[in-house]
Structure 1
């Protein structure tokens, strides 16, 4: 199983801000996916889960599941920087439902990047 090292993460506020300003947005039922052409040679992931999503336990659970999805499906992500923003309904999703929704979103990103 591939790891999720620091080179695969968006970490600084400046990077999140830049991605938010220049990135394309894809609105899913429980997530907002912001993506932009990669500034490095690997796809990178940033996760945003505000207090609107729920308490710390729920936010951390969502972040763990999102990281796991990214690790396991990194090859299906087109080369880009991604910020996945969790919406309040995301905490009610089970493992399979969350993975299904994100898989559909990633395939839509792939179709948009082919244009």
Structure 2
């Protein structure tokens, strides 16, 4: 018997439309890290939402899907520490394919704790 999850990554927490991604790229703040380019855009209402872009340049399907799972889990665990009403788009660079969960968590901790980014300031 499995226990139900108390928090997940439901549709209300996802960026799902291309217009949302375009709005982030055009009007959002851009942060460069070693393995990711992160776009942030504050909205007037609603919860924090996450959008992921992981292309085939990152690696095969196994690597891409693992990286997306790590990114979603990072978001699920840190959503309470992230700026409210913010859309976040994470674009994986080609060298991100071999990252583990601890690597992802370490590199993205700057979003929850400003000033700890090595590649840029939020």
Which of 90, 94, 104 lines up with 2:110 in the alignment? Answer: 104
* Secondary structure at 1:36 match in 2: strand
Residue 60 of structure 2 is matched in structure 1 by 55
What is the CA–CA distance in structure 1 between the aligned matches of 2:78 and 2:93, rounded to whole Å? 21
Residue 35 of structure 2 is matched in structure 1 by 30
What is the CA–CA distance in structure 1 between the aligned matches of 2:103 and 2:49, rounded to whole Å? 23
What is the CA–CA distance in structure 2 between the aligned matches of 1:3 and 1:38, rounded to whole Å? 21
TM-score (normalizing by structure 2): 0.83
* Secondary structure at 1:93 match in 2: coil
Moved more, 50-59 or 22-31: 50-59
What is the CA–CA distance in structure 1 between the aligned matches of 2:82 and 2:115, rounded to whole Å? 8
Residues 44-83 of structure 1 correspond to what in structure 2 (within 5 A)?
44-79=49-84, 80-83=86-89
Question: 5+ unaligned residues in a row in structure 1: which ranges?
Answer: none
What is the CA–CA distance in structure 2 between the aligned matches of 1:83 and 1:20, rounded to whole Å? 9
1:16 aligns with 2:41: no
More helix by share: 1
* Secondary structure at 1:75 match in 2: coil
Cα offset for 1:105?
Answer: 4.1
Query: Contact 2:57–2:94 (CA<8 Å) still a contact in 1?
Result: yes
Cα offset for 1:91?
Answer: 1.4
Cα offset for 1:98?
Answer: 1.5
